Copies of this chain bind each other. A is one copy, B any other.
Amino acid sequence: MTDLARFSINQMTVKQLTLPDLAAACRDLGVINVGLWREPVQEYGVAAAAKLVRDAGLTVTTLCRGGFLTATDPEARAAALADNRRAVDEAAALGTDTLVLVSGGLPPGERSLAAARERIADALAELAPYAGEHGVRLAIEPLHPMYAADRCVVSTLTQALDLAERFPAHQVGVTVDTYHVWWDDRAPAEIARAGAGGRIHTFQLADWTTPLPEGVLNGRGQLGDGSIDLREWQGHVEAAGYTGPIEVELFNEALWSRDGREVLAETAHRFVTHTAL
Residues of A within 8 A of B (CB): 106, 110-114, 144-146, 148-150, 155-156, 159, 182-185, 208, 210-216, 226-229, 232
Contact = CB atoms under 8 A, between A and B. Distances in A.
A55 B144 CA distance: 46
12 contacts: A111-B232, A146-B216, A148-B182, A148-B227, A149-B210, A149-B226, A155-B183, A159-B185, A211-B215, A212-B214, A212-B215, A216-B216
Contacts of A110: 227
Number of copies: 2
Given A112-B229, A145-B184, 7 more contacts: A144-B145, A146-B212, A149-B210, A149-B227, A212-B212, A212-B215, A213-B214
A263 B110 CA distance: 26
A89 to B, nearest CB: 32
A164 to B, nearest CB: 16
A208 B144 contact: no
A111 B227 contact: yes
Given A112-B229, A113-B183, A185-B113, A210 B145 contact: no
A247 to B, nearest CB: 21
A106 B227 contact: yes
Contact of A216 (B111, B212, B229): B212
Given A113-B185, A214-B212, A227-B106, A146 B149 contact: no
Contacts of A144: 145-146
Contacts of A150: 210-211
A141 B113 CA distance: 23
Nearest to A216: B212
A228 B106 CA distance: 11
A103 to B, nearest CB: 13
Contacts of A114: 185
A232 B149 CA distance: 16
A228 B111 contact: yes
A34 to B, nearest CB: 29
Contacts of A184: 145, 155
A138 B238 CA distance: 40
Contacts of A208: 148-149
Nearest to A106: B227
A218 B228 CA distance: 25
Contact of A214 (B214, B226, B229): B214
A37 B211 CA distance: 24
A210 B156 CA distance: 20
Contacts of A112: 229
